[in-house]
Amino acid sequence: MKIQVNGSKAGDKENGCALCGATWGDYYEEIDGEKLFFCCDVCATEFKNMIEEIKRRTGWKKIDELSIEGNYYKGRNCVAKTEGREYKFYVKFGDDAEIETFKEIE
Ligand SMILES: [Zn+2]
């Protein structure tokens, strides 16, 4: 999965957390058969919840590209892509890494 967070490559130790872009921490989680880097387990859980929600709503089996703009407080505007298709949404997480708001963007 190609991941961009606020305009920069993310998802490995060198580039930063797959959700927030932070380079501190040392947490890995396997998602869609790929080992992704996260700053902490909270970001990893939020990311997993988001991926599951995208798949549930689109019926996609996997996601090739994901672009994330925003942060925890404002929420995040995202674009997911797979096989030439595009899915835009807004997501905001709650205190327990659960999805608080999820809106599809036209
Ligand atoms: Zn993070």
Indicate the pLDDT class of residue 106, thresholds 50, 70 and 90. Answer: confident
Cα 11 to middle of ligand 1, angstroms: 10
pLDDT mean over 58-84: 97
Is the pLDDT assigned to residue 100 strictly greater than 90?
Answer: yes
pLDDT mean over 47-61: 97
Cα 54 to middle of ligand 1, angstroms: 19
46 neighbors 54 (Cβ within 8 angstroms): no
Per the prediction, the chain carries an average pLDDT of: 97
Cα 73 to middle of ligand 1, angstroms: 13
pLDDT tens digits, 4-41? 999 999 999 999 999 999 999 999 999 989 999 999 99
Cα 6 to middle of ligand 1, angstroms: 12
Which residue range forms the structural domain that includes residue 90?
A: 2-104
Backbone Cα Rg of the chain: 12
Cα 28 to middle of ligand 1, angstroms: 11
> How many domains does the chain divide into?
1
